[in-house]
Amino acid sequence: MTEGHLRFGTDGVRGPANTELTPELALALGRAAAVVLDCPRWVVGRDTRLSGPMLEAALAAGLASQGVQVEMVGILPTPGVAQLADWDDAAAAVISASHNPWTDNGIKFFSRGGRKLSDDTEQRIEAVLSTLLVSDNSAPPPPREEENVGLIEHRSDAVDRYGSHLTAMLGDRDLRGLHVVLDCAHGAAGPVAGRVFESLGARTEVLNAASDGRDINAGCGSTDPRDLSRAVVAGGADLGLAFDGDADRLIAVAHDGSLVDGDHLMAMFAADMDLRGELVDHTLVVTVMSNLGLRLACEAAGITVITTPVGDRHVLDALAAGGYVLGGEQSGHIIFADRARTGDGILAGLLVADLVRRTGVPLRQLAERSMTASPQVLVNVEVDHRHPRIAEELAEEIRAAERTLGPRGRVLVRPSGTEPLIRVMVEAPTSQLAGEVADGLAGTVERRFGRRPPG
């Protein structure tokens, strides 16, 4: 990604901070977003990355230059920023690269009311941005007149408002008697998660809540929950909950240290909500990455599964189109559409803990009852640039792999929406077969499209 070739991925704009995602680019992006979204009030939040305040200041300046009132809420989970936008009838921006390392950063936008942008809206922002960036063919237009400059204010009540909102999600129930360990990934969950669980009566241990700006997601959180697993077992806790850098995804840990991914969480929630009459039209929305075992379990339970492309925005679109209430991704984005504007890791964690307490059944047992996962192997291949038509380019090889796997197998080859990677996913009746087929396809991708050393 360069300043002249900025593109939105599956979750906003993302890249190395201060080289690809520069302050100049953030300023121009703020101006473009203000023009396209045409909302007089904006909420801007961020995670804990070292580059966050720099990009936050630049983005806010770009917004204010178009006459927008900007409310800076500081470090706050992405779903919290979206929720504030909903309450305040504002548009919003979050400066975060989610699960990426600290050297990356990103900017994702929400339209008025806290809704994720459509493809068309993103393309319109890209088009306006291209006219703002200096190039051979265009020059930035003059700034607005002084009297049209927007006000930038700092708000200090965002954590309290969002925390109270989460606490209210359990109604008159609480989490007394549960011992919970939280891993905040040195990210945006740090100021919020612990206080929410403590306020509901849980015995709460919090890991990785503070940050030096360089430690976000480093060997912790939902991308690396090994330390959380050890802490849960060592402390005799009932469960552990791991968030990513901007706290919109969740991976859970059972009392024995075993992991419970997004597919198992969705299977658990779907079964429980359907039993209680809360699952609209007995329907769950997932992406193509979800395990075949989830689909089989839902089919056996009479629950319809709707499948979308990768990205929680596609899940949100399908939920809105059908009026459904539950969806998500294997990676841990769990969306309760009747309670939140986007995936919310802390909310999902609260509802997991609530489910364990209400049923009296340990998390591992709940997960095992919910579904049996098919063996699945995911291999990532580094590439120099995205290959959006990779599945078509490898159509013959993919068909051959599917013939090898038979009816109980599945192949998915796709470009990452956030990183320079091709992802090769294979499901099969056995782990050995899944690994062999995945390695074979990944080898083909590497030979034909893999990143080549410079020179």
Q: Is the pLDDT of residue 138 over 50?
A: no
pLDDT of residue 2 exceeding 70? no
Which residue reads 């178009």 in tokens?
66
36, two tokens: 């396209």
The residue among 418 and 384 whose pLDDT is bigger is 384
Residue 4's pLDDT band, with cuts at 50, 70 and 90, is very low
- What integer is the mean pLDDT of 101-116? 96
What angle is formed at CA 158 by the lines to CA 155 and CA 164, rounded to 5 degrees?
A: 150
3: pLDDT confidence band, cut at 50, 70 and 90?
very low
Local confidence band at 130 (pLDDT 50, 70, 90 cut-offs): confident
pLDDT of residue 181 exceeding 90, the answer is yes
Give me the domains of the chain, ranges plus CATH numbers: 13-156 (3.40.120.10), 161-370 (3.40.120.10), 376-449 (3.30.310.50)
Determine the average pLDDT of the residues in 373-386: 88
Q: Which residues contact 351 (CB under 8 A, 6 or more apart)?
A: 169, 269, 336
So what's the pLDDT on residue 1? 36
Backbone angles phi, psi at 411, to 5 degrees: -125, 135
For residue 67, count other CB atoms closer than 10 A to its CB: 15
Residue 100 confidence (pLDDT) = 93
| Span 329-372, pLDDT tens digits | 999 999 999 999 999 999 999 999 999 999 999 999 999 999 99
Report pTM: 0.89
Q: What is the mean pLDDT of residues 15-38?
A: 95
- Indicate if the pLDDT at residue 141 is higher than 70: no
Predicted local confidence at residue 146, as pLDDT: 62
Q: What is the pLDDT of residues 183-216, one digit of tens each?
A: 999 999 999 999 999 999 999 999 999 999 999 9
Task: Give the whole-angstrom CA distance, residue 78 versus residue 160.
Answer: 15
Q: How far apart are CA 81 and CA 76, in angstroms?
A: 7
Q: What is the pLDDT of residue 333?
A: 95
User: Are 234 and 240 in contact, with CB atoms under 8 Å apart?
Assistant: no
- Please list, residue by residue across 251-274, b when 16 or more beta carbons sit within 10 angstroms of its beta carbon and e when fewer do: bbbbbebebbbbbbbbbbbbbbbb
Clarify whether 98 is annotated catalytic. yes
Inter-residue contact 263 to 291 (CB < 8 Å)? yes
Predicted pLDDT at 143: 57
Per-residue pLDDT, averaged over 125-136, amounts to 79
Rounded CA separation 337/316 (Å)? 8
| pLDDT at position 377 over 50 | yes
Of 98, 111, 222, 370, the active-site residue reads 98
Q: Write the DSSP assignment of 353-422 as a string of letters.
A: HHHHHHH---HHHHHHHH--PPPEEEEEEEBSS--TTHHHHTHHHHHHHHHHH-TT-EEEEEE-SSSSEE
pLDDT of 393-445, one tens digit each? 999 999 999 999 988 889 999 888 767 889 999 999 999 999 999 999 999 99
**Residue 66 backbone dihedrals phi, psi, to 5 degrees:** -100, 15
> Residue 310: what pLDDT?
87
> Residue 255: phi, psi to the nearest 5?
-60, -25
